[in-house]
Amino acid sequence: MSARIRKTVVPAKNSRKSQATRARIMQSATEFISERGSTDFQMNEISERCNLSKGALYYYFIDKEDLMDAIFDQVIGELVASVEHAVEATSSPLEAIYAIVFTLVTCIRREHPLVFAMVEELFLPISSANSCKGSFSRVLALLVRYLDEARDQGLIKQDFKSSFAANTIAGACIYTAIGSVPAFDEASESQVEAIVYEYLMMIMSGAATEKGLEALRSCREAAMRA
């Protein structure tokens, strides 16, 4: 009688165990990004850290690009949810803008992969093979919406380009995070408030009326009292 061959059974991808393993792989890759400040890691490093064979690792993600897409989709999705939640509690367009920028700054300093995900969405072509790409456009759309509302209320000059301002704000968040990651990580909430205020004053000082600038100052004072 021939010897019985023992086979390794890999759990179905939608099983609870499989989902937990997938999350562990993504967490390990996220840790490498945070530790190195870049996406410069190899798949064999992930398999070693997760104590998985290469075969098992590639069962969950076909290659590094597939893994990075999953991480980027996750962090962008969480950011969009955080932004949408933040604006729910606001009662004016400038409060909403302030809340969006505060959320962007806070999330970027906590989640290093978010910087790379935002860069990919803002500056690289959207792949037709990945329909999840472009979800960050929801954040930009919200910024444009509230900038337009502020203009309608006479807080911003009528010829102000809301779409340009929205992209400028997002870009400022990215470049500040890239340029000062260590200090950014340790920033207190009051320091983050100061960064948010500087962002908006930089944009608004060239576009807002005096009424708009005064309303922005009130937004910051209210946020600091909260």
Give me the pLDDT at residue 9, please. 42
Quickly list H helices, the chain.
16-36, 43-50, 54-60, 64-88, 93-110, 112-123, 137-152, 162-179, 181-185, 189-204, 210-225
Q: How many domains does the chain have?
A: 2
Phi and psi torsions of 83, nearest 5°: -65, -45
Give me the pLDDT at residue 34, please. 79
Give me the pLDDT at residue 206, please. 72
Amino acid identity for residue 150 in this structure? A
The verdict on 144 and 96 lying in the same domain is yes
Q: What is the CATH number of the domain that holds 136?
A: 1.10.357.10
Per residue in 76-114, pLDDT tens?
888 899 999 999 989 999 999 999 988 888 887 766 677
The predicted model scores a pTM of 0.73
The verdict on 38 and 130 lying in the same domain is no
The verdict on 211 and 148 lying in the same domain is yes
Evaluate whether 97 touches 146 at the Cβ level (below 8 Å).
yes
End-to-end CA distance of the chain: 77
Residue 223 has pLDDT above 90, yes or no: no
- The top-scoring range by mean pLDDT among 145-159, 163-177, 202-216 is 145-159
**Mean pLDDT, rounded, for 142-169:** 89
The verdict on 58 and 77 lying in the same domain is no
Domain range for 38:
12-62
The reply to whether 25 falls in a domain is yes
The verdict on 119 and 18 lying in the same domain is no
The verdict on 30 and 93 lying in the same domain is no
